Amino acid sequence: MSKIKFQRPKGTNDFLKEDFYFFDIIFNTFKRIVEFYNFSRIETPILEDANLFLKGVGRVTDICDKEMYCLKTKGGDILALRPEGTSPVCRAYLENGLKEWPQPVRLWYFGPFFRYERPQAGRYRQFWQGGVEIINGEDPGLEIEILQIFFNFLKELKIKNTIVEINSIGCSSCQGKYKKVLNRYLKSYEKEICENCKLRRKENILRVLDCKEEKCQSIIKNAAQIIDFLCPECKSHFTAFLEMLDHLNYPYSFNPFLVRGLDYYTRTIFEIFEERKESEGGQEKKMALISGGRYDNLIHTLGGEKTPAVGAAFGLERLLEILKREKLFLPKEEKISVFLVLLGNVAKIKILKLMEELYREKIKFFSGMGKDSLKAQLKLADKLKVDYCLIIGQKEALEGKVLIRKMKEGSQILVKMEKVIEELKKR
Ligand code: AMP
């Protein structure tokens, strides 16, 4: 019979020992900063009504159209593994009456998200995001507050070589006018643009601006820019945002063709990328680390009143990879003071009791349980560079005693079981 070998699903990761060292640094840094800025934590279910995303993110976006994991429950509901965090947070804002809290409401979240994307470097089908949302606030200063949080975040993670790209995609009225002009322009290049863009032109034309194909990029370069189609309100919002950025001396680069893959965005959008060359003289590569923007209509689309809001999220795996690659934090070996050596069944019970006591006294130990021979246990104790071994063999177990071996000198003394902790503390 052939053995079945199971593999994790394509585009997913197993996080192991060292990964968690970096995982915790990223999570703890984010949590500390957002809590300092008085954001309160929210955790929404991993499964949501699929319609929430179809309505919120948009039916003809890649995320909903191609990438959503959907399932039918036994009761016949269609649920989706959440592909993003903003729509669920807005659903929760409405459902839990957060309108009654002091406004604007500041929320943060952290958890796994799912998109059926083509896996590639930094792009997974299950990935972790941490995000912030400021709901019910129209002031462009709120965009700055979010950028400030993420600048501090990257600084504290010691991540350099980043660029901030910003743009304004206006409101639905600005977009309506712009899309018509863009459509006319792209129609004249219908034969030249890629197959994907031919579809995008018809279904979600702004996404053409995001195409990575060289031939499309050269066409887009000369297209009209949405910034020239902003209505007076959107224009003054963006101008105020830019003035604040300049005033604070925050670095940014205006990208008139920056768009996002989610339909709910309005006005200010931004992305923070890492820019690096993979090899000496190689091409500069850009990887989005943090993305966000304003979504003034989303809550209304989901059935609430008109509630302007802004948010952003980072991808954990991408940051984790940078911390590892650049060796920005080095894992410290945790010192274990005591190794427990045991031989035989009676000793096993005594060691298990001793473990209880050591835990109570917060003396860090490593147990040799599961290893049979004395030699193998002592070898491991040596490798772990412990100060002491507590040895209980058959004889010691029957006599109710423990052999304390000082590893550096190889000296050992025999003490009564009840005195072990006292002896260890003395040393
Ligand atoms: P988005 O929800 O698309 O605005 O993405 C926010 C951030 O999540 C991005 O800047 C990335 O860092 C990260 N991200 C998005 N999609 C993926 C993915 N498929 N795999 C890993 N990280 C992702």
Q: What is the pLDDT of residues 301-332, one digit of tens each?
A: 999 999 999 999 999 999 999 999 999 898 88
The two three-digit tokens of residue 225, written as one number: 């820019």
| Residue 46 lies inside a defined structural domain of this protein | yes
Cα–chain center distance at 171: 29
**Are 235 and 375 members of one domain?**
no
**Are 307 and 242 members of one domain?**
yes
Q: What domain count does the chain have?
A: 2
d(CA 88, CA 106) in angstroms, rounded, equals 15
Q: Is the pLDDT of residue 1 over 70?
A: no
C-alpha of residue 315 to centroid of ligand 1, in Å:
5
Q: What is the pLDDT of residues 189-225, one digit of tens each?
A: 999 999 989 988 988 899 999 898 999 999 999 999 9
Q: What is the pLDDT of residues 393-402, one digit of tens each?
A: 999 999 999 9
Can you name the residues that pair with 166 across neighbouring β-strands? 254, 270
d(CA 396, CA 350) in angstroms, rounded, equals 10
Q: Whose CA is nearest to atom 13 of ligand 1?
A: 315
Site to probe by mutation for ligand 1, drawn from 57, 116, 154, 291 as the one with most ligand atoms within 8 Å of Cβ, is: 291
**Are 75 and 130 members of one domain?**
yes
d(CA 120, CA 272) in angstroms, rounded, equals 19
Q: What is the pLDDT of residues 60-99, one digit of tens each?
A: 788 877 899 999 999 999 999 999 999 999 999 999 999 9
C-alpha of residue 66 to centroid of ligand 1, in Å:
16
Average pLDDT over residues 10-25: 95
| Residue 308 lies inside a defined structural domain of this protein | yes
Site to probe by mutation for ligand 1, drawn from 12, 118, 129 as the one with most ligand atoms within 8 Å of Cβ, is: 129
Q: Whose CA is nearest to atom 21 of ligand 1?
A: 123
**Are 134 and 97 members of one domain?**
yes
| Residue 381 lies inside a defined structural domain of this protein | yes
Q: The domain that contains 98 carries what CATH number? A: 3.30.930.10
**Are 249 and 397 members of one domain?**
no
Q: Which of 285, 303, 325 is the last residue of a domain?
A: 325
**Are 261 and 151 members of one domain?**
yes
Quote the domain boundaries for residue 109: 17-171+231-325
Cα–chain center distance at 277: 23
| Residue 279 lies inside a defined structural domain of this protein | yes
Q: What is the pLDDT of residues 129-153, one digit of tens each?
A: 999 999 999 999 999 999 999 999 9
**Are 300 and 359 members of one domain?**
no
Task: Using the structure block, give the residue that is written with the tokens 């923070």.
Answer: 272
Ligand 1 atom closest to Cα of 131? 6
Q: What is the pLDDT of residues 372-415, one digit of tens each?
A: 899 999 999 999 999 999 999 999 999 999 999 999 888 999 99
Ligand 1 atom closest to Cα of 125? 19
**Are 360 and 311 members of one domain?**
no
Q: Which residues line ligand 1 (CB under 6 A)?
A: 84, 115, 117, 122-124, 127, 129, 261, 288-291, 313-315, 317-318
| Residue 103 lies inside a defined structural domain of this protein | yes
